[in-house]
Amino acid sequence: MPASPPAPSSPPASPGPDPQQSPHAGTPPRPLIVRLRNWVGDVTLGLPTLQRLADAGYDLQLLGKGWAADLLAGHPWPVHRLAATARGRIAQLRELKRQAESIDPGFGRRLNALCLPYSFSSALEFRLAGLRALGHAYEGRSLLLARAVPRPQRVHELQVYWHLGSSLLGADAPLPAALGLKVSPRHRAEAQTLLATHRVASGYIVVCPFAGGTWSGQDKTWPGFAPLVAQVLPGLGRQVLIVPGPGEEDRARQHYPAATLLPGIGLGTYAALLADAALMISNDTGPGHMAAALGTPLLSVLGPSDPLLWRAWGPHVQLLQGAGTWPDLADVAAAARQALAGTHAAPAAPAASTPF
């Protein structure tokens, strides 16, 4: 059965709404400088909080890794590429502060930045840039933040970000059922060109057998992906796509020769491919969170990961094991067949007129 989001947490402790802090309908947007997390899954899970703040009237100015702008290209918020050094990041923040002050005279008198990372260095950079940031009290950084709130314990990561948004706005709200990742028209066009070039029929399956990082020192890569792609999925009559990231190309060619490989794809185009997929099967990793955020049916294969804290979030997510136990190949195969029941694959697309 699809995983359902947990019940909303109790409202966070906060001093309550501030007349100078909470934007109101009809007032000009107020700049809010937001430091994003450094991983694809984290940025994706933070989307509802970003949208909530934008809906409240904040003019978001986002800073993130180089891939963040591509991932969020379907949203209207500017995403600035985070500088590589602390000195560069501080200068970057000071420039954004200068620009914000030029359009909002009250910018310096309110909370004007949101620090989503937990690191000491991110809070320090906000402080040295002269910004009044809200963030979680963690690693001794409370003195660096204009407001530090306790980080909720043993809740899903989406709720952690939602809690910060509630603290900034001075009010809680029900947790969202979906994340709402949007795809830009440019990326949709690029995805359609790719599919035509590789003669991929609609109704295809995307598989992500890779996983970045570990969970409590344990590998997050399900060992059953190779036989799944080689032995099970071909019998379902669907084409299988794998989009290896940087450094994953050789492993993809070696272990998944039966799949159509699409290396070198940016996250925006990857999201567009996922949006049109009939199904995604993924480890606990960023692309799985992207699929869930797009509303694509997802089989999320978990082993050591704790689904209470990090599961993919959405109405079309089916969790397979987790919290220390991998699913059997037969269980994943059965779930894939059930998920595809009633859907049909179309004939292969014609080759594109220009080479890719």
Q: What is the pLDDT of residues 63-72, one digit of tens each?
A: 999 999 999 9
The vertex-255 CA angle with 271 and 65, nearest 5°, equals: 35
For residue 348, pLDDT over 70 is answered with: no
Structural domain contains residue 175: no
pTM of the complete model: 0.88
Listed range (137-141, 237-241, 348-352) with the worst mean pLDDT: 348-352
- Residues 136-161 have pLDDT tens digits of 998 889 999 999 999 999 999 999 99
- Residues 16-63 have pLDDT tens digits of 334 344 444 457 779 999 999 999 999 999 999 999 999 999 999 999
Confidence of residue 265 (pLDDT cuts 50, 70, 90): very high
Same domain, 108 and 198: no
Same domain, 142 and 263: no
* Spatial distance between the Cα atoms of 130 and 111, rounded to a whole number of angstroms: 11
For residue 213, pLDDT over 80 is answered with: no
Same domain, 44 and 112: yes
Structural domain contains residue 13: no
Average pLDDT over residues 93-116: 97
Structural domain contains residue 25: no
Coil vs helix vs strand at 178: coil
Q: Are residues 181 and 74 in contact, defined by beta-carbon separation less than 8 angstroms?
A: yes
DSSP 98-160: HHHHHH-TTGGGS--EEE-S--HHHHHHHHHTT--EEEEE-TT-GGGSSEEEEPPSSS-HHHH
Confidence of residue 7 (pLDDT cuts 50, 70, 90): very low
- The number of distinct structural domains making up the chain is 2
Structural domain contains residue 176: no
For residue 196, pLDDT over 70 is answered with: yes
Same domain, 81 and 211: no
Same domain, 143 and 268: no
Q: What is the CATH number of the domain that holds 39?
A: 3.40.50.2000
Structure tokens at 324: 């220390």
Give the per-residue pLDDT at 217: 65
Q: Are residues 125 and 133 in contact, defined by beta-carbon separation less than 8 angstroms?
A: no
Same domain, 45 and 124: yes
DSSP 300-330: EE-SSS-HHHH---STTEEEE--SS-PPPHH
Average pLDDT over residues 207-212: 90
Last residue of a domain, one of 169, 195, 221: 169
Most distant CA atoms of the chain, gap in Å: 64
Same domain, 256 and 295: yes
* Spatial distance between the Cα atoms of 321 and 316, rounded to a whole number of angstroms: 16
How are beta strands 218-219 and 214-215 bridged, if at all?
antiparallel
In whole numbers, what is the pLDDT of the chain averaged over residues?
89
Listed range (11-15, 118-122, 171-175) with the worst mean pLDDT: 11-15
Half-sphere exposure at residue 59, Cβ-oriented, CA atoms within 13 angstroms: 13
Quick one: DSSP state of residue 354? S
For residue 349, pLDDT over 70 is answered with: no
Coil vs helix vs strand at 251: helix
Same domain, 149 and 233: no
For residue 9, pLDDT over 80 is answered with: no
- Residues 286-307 have pLDDT tens digits of 999 999 999 999 999 998 888 8
Q: What percent of the chain has pLDDT above 90?
A: 79
Domain limits for position 224: 185-340
Same domain, 52 and 101: yes
Same domain, 126 and 211: no
Average pLDDT over residues 274-285: 96
Same domain, 216 and 304: yes
Listed range (112-116, 207-211, 214-218, 225-229) with the worst mean pLDDT: 214-218
Average pLDDT over residues 129-135: 98
Structure tokens at 306: 């704790």
Give the per-residue pLDDT at 26: 58
Structural domain contains residue 90: yes
Same domain, 70 and 156: yes
Confidence of residue 214 (pLDDT cuts 50, 70, 90): low
Structural domain contains residue 349: no
Give the per-residue pLDDT at 344: 65
Structural domain contains residue 9: no
Long-range contacts of 340-348, Cβ-Cβ distance < 8 Å, separation of 24 or more: 340/205, 340/236, 340/238, 340/278, 340/279, 343/203, 343/278, 344/203, 345/201, 345/202, 345/203, 345/204, 345/237, 345/238, 345/239, 345/278, 346/201, 346/202, 346/203, 347/201, 348/199, 348/200, 348/201
Quick one: DSSP state of residue 2? B
Q: Are residues 123 and 35 in contact, defined by beta-carbon separation less than 8 angstroms?
A: no
Q: At a CB cut-off of 8 Å and minimum separation 6, what does 217 contact?
A: none
Structural domain contains residue 348: no
